[in-house]
Structures are given as structure tokens and as C-alpha cells.
Structure 1
Amino acid sequence: MRDIRPEVQAAAQLVNETVSTADEAVVRGPSGLPGWSRGHVITHIANFSEAMTRQVDEALRGRLIEVYDGGRPARDAGIEAGAGRPAAELVAHLREATAALIAAWDMVGADDWERPIMHRNSNLAAGIHATWRELAVHTVDLDLGPTAAGWSEAFCLHLLDFLRPRTPEGVQLTLHPTDGPTWQNGAGQEVILTGALTDLTAWYAGRTPPGPITGSTPELLPWP
């Protein structure tokens, strides 16, 4: 597989730069995710980073471990418990957690990517792509400057392919980016959308596109 560690490291740097000067008003303010403050998003990214670091560390030892002790309920409770912390603590937690995750990915050798992990019952290759998605998408969700317009073509095409299960049944979705390759998914009534690749990808990811999209957008299924 293509080594995306430089992109993941850049995504970690961007999210930390985005919140580096956040004060109490900023972290208590609403994020782009319904019902979540920016403190919720920061906590989620940090907690995910710690959980994925553990996935990598244990995989390299030949062991499997649950992503979050206690599963999804514990994950959700951890986000709620951490979201109200002081801004400085939130920023420090994110910085330390993402640094540890980047260090963990740096330990993965060329022959290690097929090692299994419990995250989505996948492997380390899928896990680093999940890390890329979490960092890049949630940086946009912070609503503190960076938008989907900053996503690379490689990231957009990866995200579109990961999100293929969102296309409704009975729809052939055709995306015609003005600045990228045509993308299709599904079978049935054709729906054609036109716009910048980043705008089309943001829409398909359930985020507000930075720019216009031409065409009638269907209601999408949940994230896989």
C-alpha cells in the first residue's frame, strides 16, 4: 500500500495548530456536529488517538485488544466526561495523544500492515486510513478555520470509496468534479452532481460543502 504516514502527520499537525490558541469561549462553542461542543470534538480526537495507539502497539506484539474498554458506551461516556475540561487541558490532551499515535505509526514496518486489529475487525493498513479520516474530518468539524476545501484529491477519493455504503438503494450516484475524475456508485436511477471534488466529498461525508454543488442531492444512508 502507499505509505500515507506523511499525510497523517500533517493532519495531526493541522488539528493541533487549529486549537493551539483556543480559550474557554472557543472550546465551549458549538462544533459542526449537532449536539457537540468543540470540547466534545477535541476529546473525541484525543480519545480516539489513544485507543488507536493501543491498537497499533498490541498488533505489533501479535495481540488483539478492544478499541475502547467497555465498547461504544464507554467511548461515548468518555467523550461526555472529558468535554467540559479547561481549554488548556483539552489542548494538551490532544497534543500528547496525537504525538503518541504518530510515534506508534512510525514503529510499523513494511511487513506489518496486514497485522489484524479489532478496530472494524481490520488491519493496520485500514487503521492508519481510519486515523487519516478521523483527523482530517474532525478538524473541519471544529469550525475554527480549516474547511473541506483543504482536503487533498487523494484524501477525497479515499473518503468517497470508504463511504460507498452511504449511497441509497436504487440510486446510481455519479459525481462529476470540475477538478477531478468522475466517480460512480450504486445502481438504479441516475443522480448526477457537479462541483469541486472537495465540495462533493464534503457533502457525501455529511458535512457542509464550502462551495456550490449542482444537482438534486439525495438523502444519504448513515456512515458505515
Structure 2
Amino acid sequence: MALNEVHAAADALLALAADLDDATARGDSALPGWSRGHVITHIANFSEAMTRQVDGALDGRLIEMYDGGRPARDTAIESGADRSAADLRTHLTQAVTTLLASWDKVSPTDWPLPILHRNSNLSAGLQATRRELTIHTTDLNLGLTPTSWSPSFCLHLLDFLRPRTPDGTHLVLTSPTATWENGSGEQIVLTGNLTDLTAWYAGRPTPGPITGPALQLLPWP
């Protein structure tokens, strides 16, 4: 169940960040141009914003994900990234814990309720939370890599990112445990472990090798 996986992802994230010190917070994440402080601030801000989505939906209200939209979101990340490690840890823990409490309030009949995040519903919002926590935990570059991603998460993420395959391309990702295909046209076959193929498709560094021709992917949906 996705809710259990969200709790597990949150536990892994908070455990990894528990010993964060100031020097480590200033260090590079796996995302170009972002420190670990940027990543932690983004996760915390996302968690607060998604909490508003959940609580609003349960109250019958539609609320914008971020006040001020994407520009305000980006400004908040930049302004919060250089805080002390203690402040970053506190913000992250409070925001993620509060979000989990909100998700735990959702009943089986509530999942179709609409939210403004991606003009979707609570069920899709839970999957978005799963993606954000799981991917950005590895983005922290603190020893946990995409090799920790479960097969079910990899296949979910690949399906979510289907719009990244360029037009006119039939992309085939082949691993020892699964084969995933997308698009039509010239066939491009890449081979590797499922976690490496998924990390590549998500625009992340791959811990292991991938064989096959180079392919320029489209932006995230």
C-alpha cells in the first residue's frame, strides 16, 4: 500500500538527516547547483504544501499548492537553504511528521477527493509524496542511492515519467527482473539493473552501468 511506503520513505529520510551538521548541510547534493540544505528545504516546504492540499481536500476546499506559485516556491528554497543544520533538521522533521499525520486521516472513501496539485486527487497526491520523499532522500548524497528503490517504486516512477520519451522513439529498458517499454518509432534499447535504468530516466546519477545508445530525454512532466 502506498501509505505504508510513504511512511517507510519518511523514516529513511529522517534517519539519514538525523546526524546532519553544518558542514554537511553546505555540501553538494546530487542535484546540480543545490546543496543538501536546498534539498532539505525543498522537502520540508513540499511537505507543508502537501499538508495543505490534504487538509483542504478533507474540508472540501481547493487550495493552491504554493502561495505565489513556482516563483515563490523557488525563492523560499533559496532563502532557506543556508540555515543551520539544527534549523534544517527541525523544519524537516516537523513538516514531514505533520504531513504523515494528515495522510493518516484519509479514509478509504476520501482518496478520489480533488486537489489542485497537478489538478489531481488525494490518491495521486499520495503517490507524489512517495516520489518526493524517495527520490530526494537519495538526492541528499549521504550514502543512500537509487539501489534502495523497490521494484514497485521503479515501475511506478517509470510510468509517471512516460512523457520524457521523445516523439518517434520506442524506448525499451531491459533489466534482469523487468522489461519496460514506451513510445513508438525508432527502437532504442538500454540494458542495466532496474534501479539504474529508473535513475537514468529520472535524470539522476546511476550507481551501476547502463549499456545502449545515448538518448536525450524530454523534461519532467
TM-score of the aligned structures, taking structure 1 as reference length: 0.97
Work out which of the residue numbers 95, 113, 116 in structure 2 matches 1:115.
Answer: 113
Q: Does 1:185 align with 2:182?
A: yes
Aligned to 1:221: 218
SS state of the match for residue 213, structure 1? Answer: coil
Cα separation, 2, equivalents of 1:93 and 1:140 = 19
Aligned to 2:28: 30
Identity over aligned pairs, percent = 63
Cα separation, 2, equivalents of 1:213 and 1:93 = 37
Question: Which residue identity lines up with residue 217 of structure 1 in the other structure?
Answer: A
**CA deviation string 1:193-220 (max 9, x = no partner):** 1111101000000001111111113010
**CA deviation string 1:88-113 (max 9, x = no partner):** 00011101100001100000000000
Q: Does 1:92 align with 2:90?
A: yes
Moved over 2 A (4+): none
The two structures, once aligned, show a CA RMSD in angstroms of 0.7
SS state of the match for residue 221, structure 1? Answer: coil
Work out which of the residue numbers 196, 202, 212 in structure 1 matches 2:193.
Answer: 196
Q: Does 1:206 align with 2:208?
A: no
Question: Which residue identity lines up with residue 212 of structure 1 in the other structure?
Answer: P
How far the C-alpha of 1:223 sits from its partner, in A, is 0.4
Aligned residues: 221
Aligned to 1:149: 147
Unpaired runs of 5+ residues, structure 2, are none
Question: Which residue identity lines up with residue 63 of structure 1 in the other structure?
Answer: R
Question: Which residue identity lines up with residue 73 of structure 2 in the other structure?
Answer: R
Unpaired runs of 5+ residues, structure 1, are none
TM-score of the aligned structures, taking structure 2 as reference length: 0.99
Q: Does 1:52 align with 2:50?
A: yes
Work out which of the residue numbers 130, 134, 151 in structure 1 matches 2:128.
Answer: 130
Question: Which residue identity lines up with residue 189 of structure 1 in the other structure?
Answer: E
SS state of the match for residue 114, structure 2? Answer: coil
Q: Does 1:172 align with 2:170?
A: yes
